[in-house]
A and B are shown apart, each in its own frame.
Chain A
Amino acid sequence: MKNITEESKHFLSVQDMVVQYRSEGKVVMAVNGVSFDLDKGKTIGLVGETGAGKTSIAKAIMRILPDHSTYQNSGKVMLDQEDIMSIPEQEMRKLRGHKLSMIFQDPMTALNPVKSVAEQIAEAVRLHSDSNKVQAMKRAKDMLELVGISADRANEYPHQFSGGMKQRVVIAMALACDPMLLIADEPTTALDVTIQAQVLEMINALKEKLNTSMIMITHDLGVVAETCDTVAVIYAGQVIEYGAKEDIFDRPAHPYTVGLFKALPGMNKSSRRLSPIVGMPPDPTDLPSGCSFSPRCPYADDACKRDAVGMQEITPGHTCRCLKAPL
């Protein structure tokens, strides 16, 4: 009984998520037991480098992993007290867009080039509500205005918009059905900084207005600092550190998190040399035994390389997957 009450406290609860792909006869271990919680109206940042498994986590929550290459996908995703991993695809389809929706990284490829932007948004609206064509178009135009695109341009096609504008269209589409959970996968990575500033400002304002919960996937620690309440640092498909933004930025505990901050230009003003993390992220088809960061970790010893390392609490709410933490 205790378990259920604990779960229901959170708006979103991801538990023991595993995603594996098949590729060239090998098994790619993309996500290896990821768990995190998210409350209503809050934002969690999933931070990590290329190939850490961030996008796989997002796609698994949306249930849009590629059928042909997915080898295994297990775990539990509780959204608003409903286990969305076990419902039939037909039910899931109704939830997508309406209860949860996703902003994809690349606005250049996320839009349909042969449909006007308003049509694309209206299509999503009609799928998820009883509105007729006229109402849906009206809603689409309202959404475009909301993200700062004049309704006069509603009938234009994606190629007539700049990158920043296209990303706004993608955001308008994702928000058109008032989702309760928004997954933003690197929403500003393809944009210039001044446009990124505009888009982040807009996302923050909309989130506040609609009280949407958000998963912000990014490799940019600056974006995390500006948009997130809690942070999960992802390495080799695992959460290796988890806590409030202040915990992660002020008191990073995992050697990988510490290394990420040290590698940032401009963080260490006394020295011109940067401190990169030695080595490379592990091959997801052949993960090392024990802690997956141990081959690159300056503090690793035999114990780190022997057994899988569990999450341990540093302070209440701040957990870390390291035997040596806090350093």
Chain B
Amino acid sequence: MSALLEVKHLKKYFSTHKGVVHAVDDVTFSLDEGKTMGVVGESGCGKSTLGRTIIHLQEPTEGQIIFQGEDVTHLKRKDLDRLRENMQIVFQDPYSSLNPRLSVRDTIAEPLILSHKFKGAALEKEVNRLMELVGIEKRLHNAYPHEMDGGRRQRVGIGRALALNPKFIVCDEPVSALDVSIQAQVLNLLMDLQQENKLTYMFVTHDLSVVRHISDSICVMYLGQLVETCSTEELFKNQLHPYSKALLSAIPSVDIHNPTKRIVIKGEIVSPIDPKPGCRFAARCPYACEACKEPQKLEMISTGHFVSCCRVKEINQLS
């Protein structure tokens, strides 16, 4: 099976008065159709920027985005519209991502109208089908966002994203603002929709238990760079990068009899403005040495398992 999406050496820099922010710095991965890739990392690591750059909400600074075998890195307006039908996004905050002046019907109908594919009765039928698909009650047809709770609003956001039958959806922290019991409903919905429609997800989140549940593979990001990527199972069983180890050990465990052995890392994430070459985690890393000041390369350790750390073999006692 060929990859639905390939991202090669993608960079997204922002110029600010303080310097250049390296939000996404040389990220490479590929994603197969029908799969879910989780992107994890802490605030400011560039995971949302990565998602937004891939679907062209922001123009990439450098690198290549290949979607369905076609280079879509730089597109003209007309081609962009066509691409957007296939690439959609569900945003984090269901309280601010919906237009407060559009009803549920109007929110979901808008992309259908703009695409010129539906009109009149067919349009209304399609809106109703989408509402049913994402589990919004018919009585809420004319309701406005402020009249609904977070879970329902997020369903509306998902309905709108699905309207044009996309192949690829970036889910940017779609359940972070929701309570556990509601979060479970929305995660189930996303998984059901994926199965029925062969959707491919890029699931951006800081919640590792959610990502473990929903993803086939995971990218761990730190300050704009990919530090480790492999299958979900492999990451939770055999994480190799010192940052991945610290990140996974930091999740508070609900198992009161087997508390996680915590690796508490010192300090906080440093500024992504004009970073020095070399490993960006080095300042907090317990294994940092001279060699870490050199630029790091993503290296294959085993099939499908890539790590960007010059001491990875030594730390994990691999041959």
Contacts and interface: CB of A to CB of B under 8 A. Distances in A.
Contacts, number: 105
Contacts of B122: none
Contact of B180 (A195, A260, A272, A273): A260
A220 interface: yes
A245 interface: yes
A197 B253 contact: no
Interface in A246-261: 246, 249-250, 259-261
Interface stretch (A29-37, A79-87, A222-230, A308-316): A222-230
A210 interface: no
B209 A220 contact: no
Interface stretch (B96-104, B261-269, B298-306, B309-317): B261-269
A194 B247 contact: yes
A250 B255 CA distance: 9
Contacts of B191: 272-273
Given A193-B42, A197-B264, A276-B185, A219 B180 contact: yes
B213 A265 contact: yes
Contacts of A267: 254
A195 B268 contact: yes
A275 B184 contact: yes
A193 B260 CA distance: 13
Contacts of B86: none
Contact of B188 (A50, A200, A259, A273): A273
A201 interface: yes
B179 A265 contact: no
Interface residues of B, number: 37
B133 interface: no
Contact of B251 (A222, A277, A280): A222
Is chain A's interface secondary structure helix, strand, loop, or mixed overall? helix
B180 A193 contact: no
B269 to A, nearest CB: 8
Contacts of B206: 192-193
B187 A200 contact: no
Please tell me the size bucket of the interface on A: 35 or more
Contacts of A250: 256
Contact of B253 (A195, A196, A225): A225
Nearest to A221: B254
B252 interface: yes
Given A272-B191, A273-B191, A245 B250 contact: no
Interface in A182-240: 192-198, 200-201, 219-223, 225-226
Interface in B134-184: 149, 151, 179-184
A272 B262 CA distance: 27
Interface string B202-214: 0000101110111
B212 A265 contact: yes
A308 B259 CA distance: 38
Contact of B254 (A249, A259, A277): A249
A266 interface: yes
Nearest to A265: B213
Contact of A276 (B188, B212, B253, B254): B188
B180 A198 contact: no
A52 to B, nearest CB: 9
Given A226-B253, A264-B254, A193 B181 contact: no
Interface in A36-78: 49-50
A162 interface: yes
A259 B181 CA distance: 8
A164 B268 contact: yes
Nearest to A276: B184
Interface string A273-287: 111110010000000
Contacts of B262: 197, 201
A274 B188 contact: yes
B176 to A, nearest CB: 11
B184 A263 contact: yes
A225 B259 contact: yes
B285 interface: no
A100 interface: no
A257 to B, nearest CB: 12
A165 interface: yes
B197 interface: no
A165 B267 CA distance: 10
Contact of B184 (A163, A194, A221, A265): A265
Contacts of A274: 184, 187-188, 213
B193 interface: no
B252 A272 contact: no
Contacts of B247: 193-194
B68 interface: no
- Identify the 7 closest CB pairs spanning chains A and B, nearest first: A222-B252, A276-B184, A265-B213, A274-B184, A192-B42, A197-B250, A277-B181
24 contacts: A50-B179, A193-B42, A193-B247, A194-B265, A197-B249, A197-B250, A197-B252, A200-B252, A221-B254, A225-B255, A226-B253, A250-B256, A259-B181, A263-B180, A263-B181, A265-B212, A266-B209, A272-B191, A273-B191, A274-B184, A274-B213, A276-B182, A280-B149, A280-B182
Interface of A: 49-50, 162-165, 192-198, 200-201, 219-223, 225-226, 245-246, 249-250, 259-261, 263-267, 272-277, 280
Interface of B: 42-43, 149, 151, 179-185, 187-188, 191, 206, 208-210, 212-214, 246-247, 249-256, 259, 262, 264-265, 268-269
Given A225-B255, A265-B187, 18 more contacts: A49-B180, A162-B269, A164-B268, A192-B42, A192-B206, A193-B247, A194-B42, A194-B250, A197-B249, A197-B262, A201-B262, A221-B254, A225-B254, A226-B253, A246-B256, A274-B213, A276-B183, A276-B184
